[in-house]
Amino acid sequence: MKKSNVDRLITLEEFIIQGQNEFKGATGELSQLLRDIGLAAKIISREVNKAGITNILGVDGSRNVHGENVKKLDIFSNDQMLHALSRSNIVCMVVSEEDDGIIRMQSSSGRYIVHMDPLDGSSNIDVNVSIGTIFSIFMRNSDPADYPTDDDALQKGTKQVAGGYVLYGSSTILVYTTGVGVNMFTLDPSIGEFFLSEKNIQIPEEGTIYSVNEGNYNTWSPGLKKYIAYCKENDKKTNRPYTSRYIGSMVADVHRTLLKGGIFIYPESRKLPNGKLRLMYECNPISYIIEQAGGLSMDQNGRRVMEIEPTHIHQRAPIYVGSKKNVQNCIEHLKKYPKEEPRFIEKAELQ
């Protein structure tokens, strides 16, 4: 088991305050916002852990903006996050996977905008598999004295001031970055506090695990098929074949990738030419975390995901994210092989 690099017990609040004091002129608003998210995470964690005995499992009967079945815990998590973000009047707008449009908060003068997936991997809820919450925080471009505009909510991932996720698994873990490294906190449910469990996390430069839904193999590009074939080849010099691991919850798969190394892929395909994951509240915050930990996050063209110009709050994007060498190798395969495989022509078709 890997030994923690934390010398003493430090709560999330204490750590945030210490970090705030390192920045001259810091107002404390971002620190308060992170604490508010931490509070919502505790409440969601409590409900997730007792979901089977409180009639909160199962579908709600409605569908969200993406046409997906809404689970009862989806609604609960969304409500808790919105309530937490409204507490301090420092958030002017919220974009949620569960809502069609931008949510205007009561304080139009708030300086921050939050994009969130309140409960990632909700299809796993009823079978007790790890799920999570993902969040991305931006500062508005417009003057706080003015009414916030839709353009404030559409900024490149490079403009994020914080990004993070909460994993509800065998323990509840909060991971976040504000651009000065990645830190992980573990919830002690007996006293209701997050404690620092790993600081300045660095993803291995190369890993031996690949994570992708191979059920979609027939819809992939030739380059991705070639890369997965490469992962499965026997080669002791490069520690292949790699191990395949796919949970179906982005938070869970990315968390393993962050700690163990390797690559997580949700690609473009014939079925989903723009990928499935949402740019603003899934791909951007995860990319921010992985890059801060020393990894890479690219699209199919080898462009940084965080450099993609958003045009819609629910925009989708392909993502290839993880250890630097794994991602570079994958992108090389994508560029090396043509997008369309030549089709074999029967003789009868030539007559």
- Where along the chain do its domains lie? 12-198, 209-336
Which span out of 68-82, 86-100, 203-217 was modeled with the highest average pLDDT? Answer: 203-217
| pLDDT band at residue 314 using 50, 70 and 90 as cut-offs | very high
Tokens read off for 184: 């992980």
Q: Where would I find the H helices in the chain?
A: 12-21, 29-49, 72-85, 150-153, 222-232, 250-260, 284-292, 324-336, 347-350
Closest CA to 136 of 188, 97, 169: 97
Are 68 and 61 in contact by the 8 Å Cβ rule? The answer is no
pLDDT at site 351: 45
Which one-letter DSSP state was computed for residue 125?
G
**What are phi and psi for residue 178, nearest 5 degrees?**
-120, 20
Q: How far apart are CA 137 and CA 160, in angstroms?
A: 6
Q: What is d(CA 210, CA 264) in angstroms, rounded to the nearest whole number?
A: 6
* pLDDT over 70 percentage in the chain: 87
How big is the CA angle at 307 (ends 304 and 312), to the nearest 5 degrees?
120
pLDDT of residue 64: 53
The whole-angstrom separation of Cα 257 and Cα 287 is 12
Contact assessment for residue 48 and residue 80, using Cβ atoms and an 8 Å cutoff: no
What pLDDT is recorded for position 218?
93
Out of 3.30.540.10, 2.60.40.1840, 3.40.50.2300, 3.20.20.390, select the CATH number for domain 12-198.
3.30.540.10
pLDDT tens by residue, 129-146: 899 999 999 999 988 888
Confidence class for position 68, pLDDT limits 50, 70, 90: low
pTM as predicted: 0.89
What is the number of residues in the chain? Answer: 351
Whether the predicted pLDDT of 32 surpasses 80: yes
Residue 339 has what pLDDT? 67
* pLDDT at position 342 over 50: no
Which is it for the CA torsion 184, 119, 37, 9, positive or negative?
A: negative
70-87 pLDDT, tens digit per residue, is: 568 888 999 999 999 998
Could you read off the pLDDT of 240-290 as tens digits, one per residue? 999 999 999 999 999 999 999 999 999 999 989 999 999 999 999 999 999
AA letter at 72: K
Q: How far apart are CA 333 and CA 330, in angstroms?
A: 5
Lowest-pLDDT choice from 12-26, 91-105, 118-132, 327-341:
12-26
Model pLDDT for residues 139-176, shown as the tens digit of each residue: 999 888 888 888 999 999 999 999 999 999 889 999 99
Classify residue 67 by its DSSP letter. Answer: S
Please state which CATH class domain 209-336 belongs to: alpha beta
Residue with tokens 């699209």, as numbered in its chain: 299
**pLDDT score recorded for residue 345:** 45
Residue type, 21: N
Of 309 and 61, which is predicted with more confidence? 309
Q: Which of 277, 247, 248, 243 is nearest to 260 (CA)?
A: 243
Structure tokens at 121: 């991997």
Q: Is the pLDDT confidence value at 33 over 50?
A: yes
Residue 69 in this model has a pLDDT that exceeds 80 = no
Q: Which range, of 8-17, 51-60, 334-343, averages the lowest pLDDT?
A: 51-60
Is-same-fold flag (12-198; 209-336)?
Answer: no
CB-facing half-sphere around the CA of 1: CA atoms within 13 A: 2
Q: What is the pLDDT of residue 70?
A: 53
* Predicted local confidence at residue 9, as pLDDT: 87
Whether 122 has a pLDDT exceeding 80, the answer reads no
